[in-house]
Structure 1
Amino acid sequence: MSPITPPLARRLDSLQSSAIRDLLKLTARADIISLAGGLPDAELMPRDRIATAAAAALSDRSRLQYTESPGWGPLREVLAARESAALGRPVLVDEVFVTHGSQQALSLLSEVLLDPGALVVVEDPAYVGALQVFRAAGARIEAVPVDAEGMRVDALRELITRGERPAVVHTVSNFHNPGGVTLSPRRRGELAELADTHGFWIIEDDPYGELWFDQPSPVPVANYSPNVIRLSSVSKILAPTLRVGWMVAPAQVCRAVELLKQGADLCGSALTQQIAADLLTDTDWLTTHIDAVRAAYGIRAKALVGAVRHRFADRVVTTDAAGGMFVWVDFTDGTDTNALLPGALDAGVAYVPGSAFAVTTDYSHSMRLCFTTSHADVLTEAVDRLARAARV
Structure 2
Amino acid sequence: MSLTIPALAGKLAGLQSSAIRDLLKLTAREDIISLAGGLPDAALMPRERIARAAETALCDPAVLQYTESSGWPALREVIAARESAAIGRSVPVGEVFITHGSQQALSLLAEVLLDPGALVIVEDPAYVGALQVFRAAGARIVAVPLDSDGMRLDILEDLLAAGERPALVHTVSNFHNPGGVTLAPERRRRLAELAEAHGFWVIEDDPYGELWFDRPAPAPVASYSPQVIRLSSVSKILSPALRVGWMIAPERVSRAVELLKQGADLCGSSLTQQITTDLLTDTTWLAAHVDAIRTTYGTRARALTTALRTTFADRLHCTDPTGGMFIWAEFTDTTDTTALLPAALDAGVAYVPGGAFAVTNTADNSLRLCFTTSDEATLTAAVDRLSSAIG
Q: What band does the TM-score fall into relative to the shorter chain?
A: over 0.9
Amino acid of the structure 2 residue aligned with 1:61: P
Q: Distance in 2 between matches of 1:184 and 1:327?
A: 18
2:230 maps to: 230
Residue correspondence of structure 1 range 146-161 to structure 2 within 5 A? 146-161=146-161
1:127 maps to: 127
Deviations 1:151-179 (A, max 9, x none): 00111100111110000000000000000
Deviations 1:281-320 (A, max 9, x none): 0000000000000000000000001100110000011000
Cα drift, residue 2 of structure 1: 2.9
Q: Distance in 2 between matches of 1:102 and 1:81?
A: 18
RMSD: 0.5
Q: Distance in 2 between matches of 1:368 and 1:171?
A: 18
2:240 maps to: 240
2:389 maps to: 389
1:182 maps to: 182
Q: Distance in 2 between matches of 1:252 and 1:108?
A: 14
Q: Distance in 2 between matches of 1:347 and 1:264?
A: 44
Residue correspondence of structure 1 range 285-324 to structure 2 within 5 A? 285-324=285-324
Amino acid of the structure 1 residue aligned with 2:369: L
1:371 maps to: 371
1:50 maps to: 50
Q: Which moved more, 1:332-341 or 1:99-108?
A: 332-341
1:98 maps to: 98
- When the two structures are superposed, what TM-score results if normalisation uses the length of structure 1? 0.99
**Identical columns (%):** 74
Q: Distance in 2 between matches of 1:306 and 1:5?
A: 56
Residue correspondence of structure 1 range 71-86 to structure 2 within 5 A? 71-86=71-86
Q: Distance in 2 between matches of 1:180 and 1:342?
A: 25
3-state SS, counterpart of residue 266 of structure 2: coil
List 4+ stretches of structure 1 deviating above 3 A.
none
Q: Distance in 1 between matches of 2:148 and 2:269?
A: 39
1:348 maps to: 348
Amino acid of the structure 2 residue aligned with 1:378: T
Amino acid of the structure 1 residue aligned with 2:94: D
How many residues are aligned here? 391
Q: Distance in 2 between matches of 1:200 and 1:8?
A: 32
Deviations 1:310-356 (A, max 9, x none): 10000011000110000000100111101111110010000000000
Deviations 1:364-392 (A, max 9, x none): 0000000000000000000000011112x
| Structure 2 residue ranges without an equivalent (≥5) | none
Q: Distance in 1 between matches of 2:198 and 2:205?
A: 21
Cα drift, residue 62 of structure 1: 1.6
Residue correspondence of structure 1 range 182-261 to structure 2 within 5 A? 182-261=182-261
3-state SS, counterpart of residue 67 of structure 2: coil
Q: Distance in 2 between matches of 1:195 and 1:94?
A: 22
Cα drift, residue 273 of structure 1: 0.3
Amino acid of the structure 1 residue aligned with 2:374: S
Cα drift, residue 242 of structure 1: 0.2
Cα drift, residue 266 of structure 1: 0.5
Q: Distance in 2 between matches of 1:289 and 1:29?
A: 30
Q: Distance in 2 between matches of 1:62 and 1:100?
A: 19
Cα drift, residue 15 of structure 1: 0.2
Q: Distance in 2 between matches of 1:13 and 1:222?
A: 35
Q: Distance in 2 between matches of 1:12 and 1:179?
A: 28
Q: Distance in 1 between matches of 2:110 and 2:273?
A: 24
Amino acid of the structure 2 residue aligned with 1:153: L
Amino acid of the structure 2 residue aligned with 1:352: V
Q: Distance in 1 between matches of 2:339 and 2:241?
A: 35
Q: Distance in 2 between matches of 1:234 and 1:338?
A: 32
Cα drift, residue 63 of structure 1: 1.6
Amino acid of the structure 2 residue aligned with 1:260: L
Q: Distance in 2 between matches of 1:60 and 1:278?
A: 13
Q: Distance in 2 between matches of 1:263 and 1:326?
A: 35
Q: Distance in 1 between matches of 2:153 and 2:281?
A: 37
- When the two structures are superposed, what TM-score results if normalisation uses the length of structure 2? 1.00
1:380 maps to: 380
